[in-house]
Amino acid sequence: MNVFVIDLKANAKALAVWSVTLAFLDIVGVMKFSGFADGGVEATQQVIDAFPSVVLAVLGISGLNVATFPGFYAVLMFYIGIMAAAYGVQLGHGAVAREIADGTCEFLFTRPRSRASILTAKLVAALACVIVFCAVNLLSSAAGYALMDGPSTADAIPWKLFAAFTAWTALTALVFCALGAVLAACCRRMERAALIGGGAVVLCYLAAVVYDMFPDHAGVSLIARLCSPMRYWPPVELLDGTVSLPFTLLAAALVAAALAAAYTAFAKRDLVE
């Protein structure tokens, strides 16, 4: 029995829906910059700068110059990052909870394989879905850019910019995937785990807003950044080509700790709700 293949098939429908939605948002969003530029981006930027900091933070515009394509793209990726977080939680939760919810756990877990090996195969399937999701993000962004002003722009596609934000999307999804897995493994009720996972995405988004509200990024802003994986790699730093090593290590530690807790709890939990 190939658990990896079975889980890939189980995730296929949701992955297709997420991928089509993502591709549509990327292509339309990137192409929108052409019309945005025709309308006078400098004047629009001046209007945006006049908004209160809280409004800019909520919209993901804080500290970004939307008069340039990289700044405009960074705002688009802010919303894609929220999608990646939500999808990551769904994947992690499904890896642990699907057999319990479907009532097939008794069949699966009486096979001559350990729970750890089965969970590993299911998490690898979730990782494969994250990779596909991010590949769609990269390619659809490039497609939107190539279509923005016609084929002549295809040779000048900013692959480095797209790759940087795609990597950010992947890391964000992985953190929340691990979170979804540990919640499903530790919560007795699968519905409660899903609810907490969705709440965590909202809270992390709010923490990202708080971080963006303070341009000095000190004090309460630093605490907000610690609470939001969406801001472990802020868009301003990605545009500058820099990556925070401490926050990257923190993200890796969170993923490792969450997965370790998930394996431990999953090995002990009652598989019948």
Report yes or no: 172 and 230 within 8 Å, Cβ to Cβ.
yes
**pLDDT, average across residues 254-272:** 85
**pLDDT, average across residues 214-234:** 84
In terms of residue numbers, what domain contains 87? 3-268
Whether 93 is in a domain gets the answer yes
**Range with lowest mean pLDDT among 21-30, 114-123, 180-189, 211-220:** 211-220
d(C-alpha 95, C-alpha 116), whole Å = 12
**pLDDT, average across residues 161-189:** 93
**Range with lowest mean pLDDT among 75-84, 98-107, 188-197, 209-218:** 98-107
| pLDDT the model gives residue 152 | 47
Q: Give the pLDDT band of residue 157 (cuts 50, 70, 90).
A: confident
Looking at the predicted structure, is the pLDDT value of residue 131 above 50? yes
Most confident of 56-60, 84-88, 101-105, 107-111: 84-88
d(C-alpha 252, C-alpha 254), whole Å = 5
Buried b (16+ CB within 10 A) or exposed e, 44-71: ebeebeeeeeeebbbbbbbbbbbbebbb
- Residue 29's alpha-carbon distances to 22, 35, 58, 110, 150, in angstroms, are 10, 11, 18, 48, 16
Looking at the predicted structure, is the pLDDT value of residue 106 above 80? no
Whether 273 is in a domain gets the answer no
Computed over every residue of the chain, the mean pLDDT equals 86
Report the first-to-last Cα separation within the chain, whole angstroms: 25
Q: Give the pLDDT band of residue 22 (cuts 50, 70, 90).
A: very high
Q: Give the pLDDT band of residue 243 (cuts 50, 70, 90).
A: confident
Q: Which is more confident, 35 or 12?
A: 12
Q: Give the pLDDT band of residue 93 (cuts 50, 70, 90).
A: very high
**Range with lowest mean pLDDT among 40-44, 45-49, 87-91, 227-231:** 40-44
Looking at the structure of the chain, the number of domains it has is 1
| pLDDT the model gives residue 36 | 66
- Residue 143's alpha-carbon distances to 47, 110, 191, in angstroms, are 30, 47, 38
**pLDDT, average across residues 64-78:** 90
Looking at the predicted structure, is the pLDDT value of residue 230 above 80? yes
| pLDDT the model gives residue 33 | 85
| pLDDT the model gives residue 42 | 65
Whether 95 is in a domain gets the answer yes
How many residues can be counted in the chain?
273
Report yes or no: 45 and 63 within 8 Å, Cβ to Cβ.
no
Looking at the predicted structure, is the pLDDT value of residue 16 above 90? yes
- Residue 136's alpha-carbon distances to 14, 25, 201, 257, in angstroms, are 14, 11, 22, 29
